[in-house]
C-alpha cells in the first residue's frame, strides 16, 4: 500500500522524535517505581503462619503415635 504525503510526513516526524530519545536514560519516576520494596500481600504475620503450620504438622505426626500407643496398651 502506498503512503500518502500526510502519512509520510507524520512517519518522518515520529522517526526524528524516536532518534532523539535513543540512548537517553529512563525517567526518574519509572526508576523509583522499580526500586520500591515489594508489598507484603498477606495480612497475617509470617511468624503466625509458621506457628500454625508447626501445630498442624506436629498434630499429623503425633496423632498416629497416640493411636499406636493406645493400641499397644
Is the whole-model pTM more than 0.85? no
Residues of 4-35 as b/e, b for ≥16 C-beta within 10 angstroms?
eeeeeeeeeeeeeeeeeeeeeeeeeeeeeeee
How many domains, in total, are found in the chain? Answer: 1
Split at pLDDT 50, 70, 90, the class of 24 is: confident
- Per-residue model confidence (pLDDT) at position 61: 86
The residue segments making up the domain with residue 27 are: 5-34+42-72
Average pLDDT for residues 14-36, to the nearest whole number? 74
Amino acid at each position: 500500500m502506498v503512503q500518502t504525503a500526510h502519512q509520510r510526513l507524520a512517519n518522518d516526524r515520529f522517526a526524528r522524535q524516536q532518534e532523539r530519545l535513543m540512548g537517553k536514560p529512563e525517567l526518574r519516576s519509572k526508576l523509583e517505581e522499580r526500586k520500591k520494596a515489594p508489598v507484603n500481600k498477606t495480612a497475617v504475620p509470617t511468624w503466625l503462619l509458621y506457628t500454625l503450620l508447626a501445630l498442624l504438622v506436629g498434630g499429623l505426626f503425633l496423632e498416629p503415635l497416640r493411636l499406636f500407643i493406645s493400641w499397644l496398651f
